[in-house]
Amino acid sequence: MLVGNLQNELDLMFSVLLYYMCCRSGSLVCYQVSLRYFPHHVSSIKSLTGVLPERQKLLGLKIRGKPADDDTKLGLLKLKPNTKIMMMGSREESLEDILAPPPESDDVINDFDIEEEVIEVENREENLAKIARRVKEYKVEELNPPREGKRLLVLDVDYTLFDHKSCAETGQELMRPFLHEFLASAYEDYDIVIWSATSMKWIDAKMKELGVSDNSNYKITFMLDSGAMITVHTPKRGVVEVKPLGVIWGKYGEFYNRKNTIMFDDIGRNFLMNPQNGLKIKPFMKAHLNRERDKELLKLSHYLKEIAKLDDFSALNHKHWERYLSKKQSQ
């Protein structure tokens, strides 16, 4: 983000704070940048970041409702003092690592391996105590009230709804196909919760950029960030972070429980504390290459519609969701 006294093109000298959000780690780094002359165009701001202009985007710079291009004069944007601008992109020294395929041994975990470790962590006393602390201490900001009689759909963000490593001019280009149709369909039967292993500021920025926050066809009940996660120790992988649905069930037990909750995530280890409720979605990567052929959300919307007819999800094996859907559709 750039935070500064952006007044007009005639200002000769000012200082800004550049907040760079690393796409890989989600960490926020702050730099103080003193400029001798006011930058005249959007491209001037891009030159401050150390990221190739074609590999970055500045969120929040719009003119007449459309993203401002590099040649747009800053004076035309009518920026108010202390305007906040978020930059997404990757520095050159990180590109080689970022563009490489994700490691199979870490994020992409074999489901069979997870099943072996579930029994050892799911009911461990210290893990349940951590969940209890999150229930007591983690503050949830409700965006919309829970609805009586609705099931619960919990959604990851990166690689589930959004390709967070590819480069594009707008977030819409990195959005998973059929996202809005999927959410609108799901909202008929499910309350929707977003849960990402990053900071809330970053989650909020992504949801706004994707057009999820203020969509008239559906509503998000609340969002959770990394602060709601816990660490667990596994014999094979050591300490890992997971997303325990028990945090939600503990806070909203009158609405949600093991019987009516399903969670989508591209990382299987996030289900370690609630394996029965997790569906490991295929990661959406390389958006420019896969945008036309990715139909995952379209198919999953049909699956959600089918299982919404059930009073209890406990007997379902979400690992075989495609088989279940095919069987139901052939009846």
CA dihedral over 281, 325, 216, 256, signed as positive or negative: negative
Give pLDDT, residue 106: 42
Rounded to 5°, the CA angle 237-238-241 comes to: 90
Q: Going by C-beta distance under 8 Å and a sequence separation of 6 or more, which residues neighbour residue 53?
A: 43, 46, 47, 70
Does residue 147 sit in the same domain as residue 83?
no
Does residue 120 sit in the same domain as residue 243?
yes
Give pLDDT, residue 22: 52
Give pLDDT, residue 194: 98
Q: How far apart are CA 143 and CA 193, in angstroms?
A: 10
Does residue 169 sit in the same domain as residue 278?
yes
Q: Which residue has the tokens 């041994």?
A: 105
In a domain, residue 105? The reply is no
pLDDT in tens, 175-188: 899 999 999 999 99
Q: Which regions of the chain are under pLDDT 50?
A: 1-18, 23-27, 29-38, 92-112
Q: How far apart are CA 75 and CA 82, in angstroms?
A: 15
Give pLDDT, residue 173: 75
In a domain, residue 135? The reply is yes
Given phi > 0 = left and psi -120 to 50 = alpha, else beta, which region is 264? beta
- What CATH number should be reported for the domain holding residue 67? 3.10.20.90
Q: Kind of pairing, strands 230-234 and 66-67?
A: unpaired
Give pLDDT, residue 105: 37
Does residue 214 sit in the same domain as residue 300?
yes
Does residue 277 sit in the same domain as residue 325?
yes
SS3 content of the chain, % helix, strand, coil (to 5): 35, 20, 45
pLDDT in tens, 239-255: 999 999 999 999 999 99
